[in-house]
């Protein structure tokens, strides 16, 4: 699966999960255990990560051409709080990615609605200092594993800028396939579909994170 904004690494964002009987639940006073890969520590995002969240966004904006101004910390706090609320509701949400005791980015999966289907939104945004090390791919693979254990019938989706080649490559590496585009599309869409039929639902759409410029 895969991000961040593709999930900017992506349109990522949490959505309400389906019925309570299907939804993995956690005690709100006990955070799920962090995940560990060969190189990474993946922890549920918290508001204590705000400084790193702002710094990442500022670094990514500074690499744009032309560079954009630094983010408003208050806006970043509101955005991050929406990620935190996913965990607070007992859902599976996005992680803070640490490599060698440094925050390397943010990513993972969160429930979303896509074309009236319950899906996992795959998200990954990695700081420029960590580009080229396969961190987004490693995060995306772990997210795919965890999401598949929770709801194996849910598709995994990534939406990103069509020019965001690195994020598209990450999504392809973990098995997502790019869907044919249509005139006027703002985003490239990549999907990993386990084959279940569409499942209509009236649930509201939750905010999604978009994958960053690098996977």
Per-residue model confidence as pLDDT tens digits over 159-172: 999 999 999 999 99
pTM of the model: 0.78
The two structure tokens encoding residue 46: 């918290």
Specify the fold of 35-192.
Aminopeptidase (3.40.630)
Per-residue model confidence as pLDDT tens digits over 196-214: 444 443 333 444 555 654 4
Residue 92 in tokens: 């599976």
Residue 186 sits at φ, ψ, to 5 deg, of -85, -25
């Amino acid at each position: 699966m895969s991000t961040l904004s593709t999930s900017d690494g992506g349109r990522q964002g949490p959505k309400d999960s389906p019925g309570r009987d299907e939804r993995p639940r956690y005690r709100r006073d006990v955070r799920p255990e962090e995940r560990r890969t060969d190189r990474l520590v993946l922890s549920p995002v918290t508001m204590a990560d705000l400084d790193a969240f702002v710094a990442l966004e500022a670094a990514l904006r500074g690499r744009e051409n032309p560079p954009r101004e630094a983010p408003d910390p208050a806006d970043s706090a509101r955005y991050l709080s929406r990620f935190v609320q996913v965990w607070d509701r007992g859902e599976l949400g996005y992680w803070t990615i640490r490599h060698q005791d440094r925050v390397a980015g943010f990513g993972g999966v969160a429930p979303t609605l896509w074309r009236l289907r319950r899906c996992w939104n795959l998200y990954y945004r990695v700081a420029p200092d960590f580009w080229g090390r396969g961190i987004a791919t490693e995060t995306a693979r772990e997210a795919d594993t965890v999401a598949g254990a929770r709801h194996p019938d849910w598709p995994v989706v990534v939406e990103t800028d069509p020019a965001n080649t690195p994020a598209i490559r990450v999504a392809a590496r973990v098995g997502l396939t790019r869907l044919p585009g249509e005139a006027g599309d703002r985003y490239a869409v990549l999907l990993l579909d386990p084959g279940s039929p569409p499942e209509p639902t009236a649930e509201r759409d939750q905010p999604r994170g978009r994958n960053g410029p690098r996977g």
